[in-house]
Structure 1
């Protein structure tokens, strides 16, 4: 049994998790035989890159974002479309895909929180529920295999079903950014750094510390354990993701933001 100490920055974790999600047998099967629906988000953007084999502007591959020290949105002119693939090829009608998807298909949606019970939740700020509001009913009722890629930088100690009760776009008197509801995704399969190392290398990953400074803010530090062969795979995978560049802050101008009325900055309550 060998052991290693590894620290991953948030971008490195996102790249690791993306590689693991693509390697999952459920995803590989769906890429060959059915639908893979990737909802927009920065972590999902890494998954899109791994599948498409090309670089995309990951900062712009989202609508809601936590950036520049606040909950916010990206500029409306850059809002992306979800990436939907059918048998590995682009499928242009996301709504039709949702109608046709079933248990052998895959839906991928990032998250803003993972709690002590490994339950996940995502922010929604649009009055119609945004992405999760428009897709949740389709995926949960038909048993679509739902994957939530989420780094342990987003770990929260409070169970998400409890913290969700405190939120809502009209629930706050003031704040430092966009108001949002926290929406649990109870039927999802979370993939963190722990699952990623298991999928890609067959090693046990135990998170032991978080945070840092000088570019390591939000980092996750893990102990990896496994036999010689598995740990060598883990070493190569770690080398492959180290040095992943940080994402650039990217937020909307408050003076033109369509969500200014439900934002502490936009409504000038702070």
Structure 2
């Protein structure tokens, strides 16, 4: 039996979680036999890299983003398209058409902005139509599509997401430090945090014991790992593999041309 103390930065956690999501039996099955729908987001971008084996500009593989100390969006000219794979190959049609065909043996992957004390997750939505989650939620929940939410414990909140959701909305705020948004719970999502990642990849227990840091370690998660000697040696190797993952670079839209300026504390001049 071994015990280890491990600190992971947000980018290191994203890489670990991405490896774990791709290793899940359900994802491997869907990659071979069905649909894997990967909605845009920075954590999801790591999953795209793990599946494709190719590097992408992860900062640009999202629309909504918390960056530069504010809720914001990336430049409209770089807004990406969701990636849908069918039997491991890019789906040629519109992503929404794929949703119509998907069922319980297929996988929908969507990152989250919050995970609460009950391990429920939620995502921000700022577009009037509900954005990604608004357009896809009905299809995934009614058809029983397996929904996976890769989310680092840097996004842990002690407030239950069903409580937080009642406090938010794009017309709910008088002023703020960035883009106004609604927090939308995803009750049927299966979260994959650092805890689940270590269990999936190397079958060891990961217990979160501290968070935060300075000097590049802001947002870090510190964990105690426990397991049998053989599994813990594997945990050491996977930890070495993700350590040193470079941080994502700040990347946001110019406020003067942002299409969301009217629902933003900065863009509207309210702050």
TM-score (norm 2): 0.99
Partner SS state of residue 140, structure 2? helix
Tell me by how many angstroms 1:95 deviates: 1.2
CA distance in 1, matches of 2:270, 2:96: 38
**1:182 is matched with which residue?**
183
**2:7 is matched with which residue?**
7
1:3-41: per-residue Cα shift (whole Å, max 9, x none)?
Answer: 000000000000000000000000000000000000000
Partner SS state of residue 222, structure 1? strand
CA distance in 2, matches of 1:134, 1:48: 21
* 1:201 and 2:190 correspond: no
Partner SS state of residue 166, structure 2? helix
CA distance in 2, matches of 1:96, 1:75: 26
**1:131 is matched with which residue?**
132
Tell me by how many angstroms 1:239 deviates: 0.3
Partner SS state of residue 233, structure 1? helix
**2:215 is matched with which residue?**
214
**1:223 is matched with which residue?**
224
**2:101 is matched with which residue?**
100
* Pairs aligned (count): 270
**1:64 is matched with which residue?**
64
Tell me by how many angstroms 1:263 deviates: 0.1
CA distance in 2, matches of 1:125, 1:20: 29
1:218-263: per-residue Cα shift (whole Å, max 9, x none)?
Answer: 0000000000011001000000000000000000000000000000
TM-score (norm 1): 1.00
Structure 1 runs of 4+ off > 4 angstroms?
A: none
CA distance in 2, matches of 1:120, 1:85: 24
Partner SS state of residue 250, structure 1? coil
**1:55 is matched with which residue?**
55
5+ residue gaps in structure 2? none
**1:242 is matched with which residue?**
243
CA distance in 2, matches of 1:232, 1:137: 43
**Equivalence map 1:99-178=2 (5 Å):** 99-178=100-179
CA distance in 2, matches of 1:250, 1:6: 29
1:33-88: per-residue Cα shift (whole Å, max 9, x none)?
Answer: 00000000000000000001100000000000000000000000000000000000
CA distance in 1, matches of 2:254, 2:69: 14
Partner SS state of residue 99, structure 1? helix
CA distance in 2, matches of 1:265, 1:52: 38
**2:258 is matched with which residue?**
257
CA distance in 1, matches of 2:189, 2:177: 30
CA distance in 1, matches of 2:176, 2:48: 33
Partner SS state of residue 207, structure 1? strand
